[in-house]
Chain A
Amino acid sequence: MTLTPTTDGPLEGVRVVDLTTGLGAYTGRLLSDLGAEVIRVEPCGGAPERNHAPRTDDGISFSFAFTEAGKQSLIADSSDGGNAAQLEHLLDTAQMLLTSEGPGLLRAKDLHPEDVTNRHAGLVHVSISPFGLTGPYADRPASDLTLLAAGGLLGLAGDPDREPLRAWGNQTSVIAGVHAATAALIALLSLESTGRGQVVDLSVQESVAHSLENAAQYLDLEGVVRKRVGAGPAEAGTGLFQCADGWVYLVGGLGGRPLAWQSIIDWLTGQGIDEAETLGADKWQERTWRRSREGSSTFRVIFEKFARTRTKQELYESGQGRGISVAPVATPEDLINDPQLVARDFFRNIDVGGNQLRFPGPPYRFANSHVGPRSGPPSLGSIGAPEAGAAAGPGYERTPA
């Protein structure tokens, strides 16, 4: 990392118009982090997501603050003819449009991607929608939970004796966002070499179905339908273990084979857990014993005798110091204070409605360019609308690539 970073982001000069709902909102955040100018278009009363719980004491939604960081806000209501003309004018100056509703709702707003890209030949319309723009379910109403179900991820999560379980937060926004930003950048490279825009038709259901690890292949190759299995594979040495202030996740075996087994034995015996010497018996090298209920529970009793007297952080540092793959089951508070993240200056203090919040830094660091959230979510109408029919005004000086 010897090069000097500049203040430019790698997407400097790219203008993105963001008309997404919460489902698509992370896409524009990723592009903004990389230096694109992302303009969130909102109705007069503001996007409803601004107020979604949980909120700051001042009523600003945490998820809105996270996905809208670095964007600008422009008030324009597509149901108002004058505003619709302004939006068309804005799209003429932009390289990308992001939406996240199904084809019927888009058509009702005169924003169906086919029509939009006919009107604006140099625009990439990234259409994120629950089921894609075509097919029998294209206009079905959907939410984070129902899309996790329709894409198959929900069915893999949870305890077998309970209902399938939602991953925390709006993970479909993350899943859709990372695929949509990838697709958007592929289209941008093409736009900037040919001058021609296009439609990207992203299905969130398919994006979720792309996250199933090996479940499709298990059925295809071995005829096995994977089911939910609780916290993970049942194997001695692997899984969640109780400690003094929560849990750690230990990987002491994978695929029926022990990992760093002697190190684990030494770790425990060194702390005075004499029973750990029994883990040296031959059966602990055998797949069938390691995967048996008795094997798992015998290990658990021995390990937790030690772990219950130590904190997550102590176990993390002392175990990793011995080459053992152990990690804390971190809470958000743990992460804010995580020694590694703090040492690497990961968090950025950013003003949100007068409060300093600690934003996670970007997912990646560039040696050569400025990347990451630059400001908090925009106040409603942070930039003014260009006058209808007028030449591009301040803030609108860019021309299409």
Chain B
Amino acid sequence: MSTELPLEGIRVADFTWVGAGPFLTKPLADHGADVIKIESRTRTDPIRSMAPFRDGQAGINRSGYFANRNSSKRSICLDLKHPEGNRLALELIAQCDVVANNYTPGTMERLGLGYDTVRRVRPDIIYLDMPMQGNSGPHRDYRGYGLTIAAAGGLFGLSGYPDRLPVGTGTNYPDHVPNPLHGAIAVLAALRNRRRTGRGEHIELAQLESTVNAIGPALLAASAGQQTERAANDDPVAAPHGVYRCAGDDKWCAVAVFTDAQWRSLGSVLGAPEWTSRADLASAKDRRNARRALDVLINSATQTWDADRLAAALTKEGVPASAVLDADALLNQDPQLRARNHWVRLDHPVMGPSIYDGIPYGHSRTPGRLRGPAPLLGADTRDVCLELLGMDPETFDSLNQQGVVG
């Protein structure tokens, strides 16, 4: 079995920062691409200054938020506004297969690193822009963060209890799911196409457009004149379907009943088979109509159960169920994640051994792996300048003293 990583030989000039962009280049890096983050010493990536920090002490090399999305990468510092820094960036790009950035529209052009310039030094480059609203249109210069994109993109407003304000997912969902991973898909597809045709690609991922796809079915409904409303934990098909209170402080179990057989099993596990013989609850439609009353019945039956035991008992009888796991359960208790060695502990030079999200899939023949912890700011500048750009040590030292590299 080969130990070679599947993306070995691919090099990425990574100008992405903050949330979404670095989670795009992470899967590339974890599968063998040489991802070189181009950072600034004077305007550091804001996420390097965001909690959580090792032992709660802030520092640009101590953030777990930053570290988790930058495994397996290298970091160099360049002053892109200095002519020599700009020249070095283009020299580096000439040796890269992919350029990725998530700056606001026009930034890369102002830095002299826009697609048309880059294409001259590397005609078959795969170049990805990741603006919030797109490179064109009346809102192209609008600004935002993960939560404003979730709001503008529709998922936030649809997620919530019908009798209260929307609540969204509790996370910057667009930064963690649709935007980075749609971006990774686009880059990989373009790499495949380049291999076939020799042509590069200019990809524009407008984060709003990407996020809107997460609620695609609701847009189709709207275009057919049908409204979609917040529905808490209801499901259009399954009932009962909800998150029920279990024994202990803030313990819950999610349960989904799609079929008559699951309905009978739920009744028998909860020791209430009389429900399942009620004629007015015999069909899925009946149960959906009675779902509020059923939620009350089920909550009264689940509150004495341990959530994990209830999930085990229900799933054994074919009913989809799971305890609502928090970070402690996920990291320290869940037997499934433990059996699959999901979490990865990497020894970071400043943070020490720290937890990183594992890759949620495995390739049987060409598995990826987290090859190393997040890089310290500028840790690889010298190596990249000397080994990749062929700079001599004296020139490096001189540019370093001027603050152009370092």
Which residues of A have CB within 8 Å of B323? 149-150
Task: Pick from B52, B148, B233, B358: contact of A217, CB below 8 A.
Answer: B52
- Considering only residues 190-239 of chain B, those with a C-beta below 8 Å from chain A are 190-193, 195-196, 199-206, 208-210, 212-224, 226-228, 230-233, 235-238
B209 touches A361 (CB 8 A): yes
Among B157, B184, B245, residue most surrounded by chain A Cβ atoms (within 10 Å) = B157
A145 touches B254 (CB 8 A): yes
B64 touches A134 (CB 8 A): no
A346 and chain B: residue at smallest CB distance: B209
Which residues of A have CB within 8 Å of B220? 62, 65-66, 352, 357-359
Residue A265 interfacial (CB < 8 Å): no
A369, B92: Cα distance in complex, Å: 26
Which residues of A have CB within 8 Å of B337? 205-206, 209
Which residues of B have CB within 8 Å of A214? 50-52, 64-65, 68
Q: Provided the pairs A212-B171, A214-B68, A340-B137 are in contact, do residues A182 and B219 lie with their beta carbons within 8 angstroms?
A: no
Closest CB in chain A relative to B222 CB, distance in Å? 4
Residue A339 interfacial (CB < 8 Å): yes
B56 touches A179 (CB 8 A): no
A219, B327: Cα distance in complex, Å: 7
B31 touches A326 (CB 8 A): no
A135 and chain B: residue at smallest CB distance: B339
Residue A90 interfacial (CB < 8 Å): no
B361 touches A146 (CB 8 A): no
Q: Provided the pairs A187-B366, A200-B362 are in contact, do residues A10 and B148 lie with their beta carbons within 8 angstroms?
A: no
Number of chain B interface residues as a range: 35 or more
B181 touches A179 (CB 8 A): yes
A4, B146: Cα distance in complex, Å: 33
A164 touches B252 (CB 8 A): yes
Q: Provided the pairs A323-B143, A369-B201 are in contact, do residues A141 and B366 lie with their beta carbons within 8 angstroms?
A: no
B255 and chain A: residue at smallest CB distance: A146
Among A144, A169, A201, residue most surrounded by chain B Cβ atoms (within 10 Å) = A169
Closest CB in chain B relative to A3 CB, distance in Å? 7
Residue A224 interfacial (CB < 8 Å): yes
Q: Provided the pairs A182-B185, A186-B188, A335-B212 are in contact, do residues A225 and B224 lie with their beta carbons within 8 angstroms?
A: no
- Considering only residues 382-400 of chain B, those with a C-beta below 8 Å from chain A are none
- Considering only residues 99-146 of chain A, those with a C-beta below 8 Å from chain B are 113, 117, 131-132, 134-138, 140-146
Residue A386 interfacial (CB < 8 Å): no
Closest CB in chain A relative to B20 CB, distance in Å? 12
Chain B residues touching A, majority SS: mixed
Task: Pick from A62, A135, A149, A222: contact of B217, CB below 8 A.
Answer: A62
Closest CB in chain B relative to A317 CB, distance in Å? 8
Residue B15 interfacial (CB < 8 Å): no
A373 and chain B: residue at smallest CB distance: B216
Residue A82 interfacial (CB < 8 Å): no
A213 touches B172 (CB 8 A): yes
Number of A residues near B (Cβ < 8 Å) is 151
Among B83-91, B159-167, B273-281, the stretch in contact with A: B159-167
Residue A216 interfacial (CB < 8 Å): yes
Which residues of B have CB within 8 Å of A331? 154, 157-158, 222, 228
Closest CB in chain B relative to A165 CB, distance in Å? 6
Residue B256 interfacial (CB < 8 Å): yes
B201 touches A366 (CB 8 A): yes
A217 and chain B: residue at smallest CB distance: B64
- Considering only residues 50-93 of chain A, those with a C-beta below 8 Å from chain B are 52-54, 56-57, 62-63, 65-67
A196 and chain B: residue at smallest CB distance: B365
Among B35-43, B71-79, B105-113, B312-320, the stretch in contact with A: B312-320
Chain A 156-190 near chain B by CB (<8 Å), digits 1 or 0: 11110011111111010011001111110111111
- Considering only residues 91-108 of chain B, those with a C-beta below 8 Å from chain A are none
Task: Pick from A53, A207, A249: contact of B148, CB below 8 A.
Answer: A249
Residue B156 interfacial (CB < 8 Å): yes
Closest CB in chain B relative to A241 CB, distance in Å? 10
Which residues of A have CB within 8 Å of B156? 249, 329
Residue B133 interfacial (CB < 8 Å): yes
Closest CB in chain A relative to B264 CB, distance in Å? 14
Which residues of B have CB within 8 Å of A227? 250, 326
25 A/B residue pairs, CB under 8 Å, sorted by A: A1-B115, A66-B216, A143-B235, A146-B256, A150-B334, A152-B330, A163-B243, A165-B159, A179-B181, A183-B363, A186-B368, A190-B6, A192-B195, A198-B366, A218-B64, A240-B166, A325-B148, A332-B218, A335-B219, A340-B138, A340-B140, A344-B137, A364-B203, A366-B203, A367-B202
Closest 3 A/B residue pairs (Cβ): A217-B64, A178-B181, A10-B193
- Apart from A143-B235, A330-B151, A357-B223: 18 A-B pairs, beta carbons within 8 A: A63-B216, A150-B336, A152-B325, A159-B161, A166-B232, A169-B217, A178-B178, A185-B185, A209-B337, A213-B176, A216-B343, A216-B357, A219-B328, A221-B354, A331-B154, A359-B220, A363-B209, A369-B201
